[in-house]
Amino acid sequence: MASVAVVFQSDRGHTKVLADAIFKGIKAVEGTNAQFLEIQGSDVFEGRFANETLMTELDRCDGIIFGCATYMGSGSAIFKAFLEAAFRPRWLEQRWKHKIAVGFTNSTSQNGDKLSTLLQLNVFAMQLGMIRVGVGDLPGNNWSGGARSDLNRLGTWVGAMGQSNADEDAPSIGDTETAERFGNRIALITRRFKDGTPYEIVRLSESEFRQENVRRRNGSFKK
């Protein structure tokens, strides 16, 4: 059985909403064990990450999805302490080599320089010898008929992105549904890499993807 972990840090709860959706997507894949690991401020002692139990859980996983909010153009300080803690002994002993990896982030602004955080997570995964996977959906909300509820409405592929308004408690329904699909995709790929289990690949053209977003909106969501 393939094991996939969502490991994240969320200060105000917005990033945790995305983590919950990703976790839901992982759990929907039969034959996959899902782990939900939230990093707390108390895990950092005198500037260094000190939760070895969490790190050991990640050692056992076949895939790891990393997530944190974007603050001032980069990942949160607490999450960066976690990343640095992987140097000894995980980087030195290549413990996470050939694990599937990907990242996600959230910010208040539409852009918020979130790409900087995802690239930081990408470099981290490459240094650990991990196998990076991205978002598999076409972009939404990039035409006159688009909406905030569209799948992949921020048009990201390096990793998943969410955007939550400053006066709201969560990213848009489009962001959370994209995150769920993202978690499902990573679980399917990890399971296939782990034990060779095949899965159906759904491919949509740009026009089909736009029609799907319109159908979803008209059926369930407000624009």
| Domains present along the chain, CATH in parentheses | 2-219 (3.40.50.360)
pLDDT in tens, 13-23: 999 999 999 99
Which pLDDT value is given to residue 18?
Answer: 99
pLDDT at residue 219 in the model: 81
CA distances, 158 to each of 45, 58, 81, 181, 185 (Å): 31, 22, 22, 15, 14
pLDDT of residue 220: 61
User: What residues pair up with 104 in beta bridges, in sequence order?
Assistant: 67, 160
Asked if residue 85 lies in contact with residue 138, where contact means CB atoms within 8 angstroms, the answer is: no
Cα–Cα distance for residue pair 146/5, rounded to 1 Å? 32
Bond before 89 cis per omega within 30 degrees: yes
- Residue type, position 159, single letter: G
Q: Cα(first)–Cα(last) distance of the chain, in Å?
A: 40
pLDDT under 50: residue ranges of the chain? 222-223
At residue 222, the pLDDT reads: 44
Residue 211: the pLDDT is 96
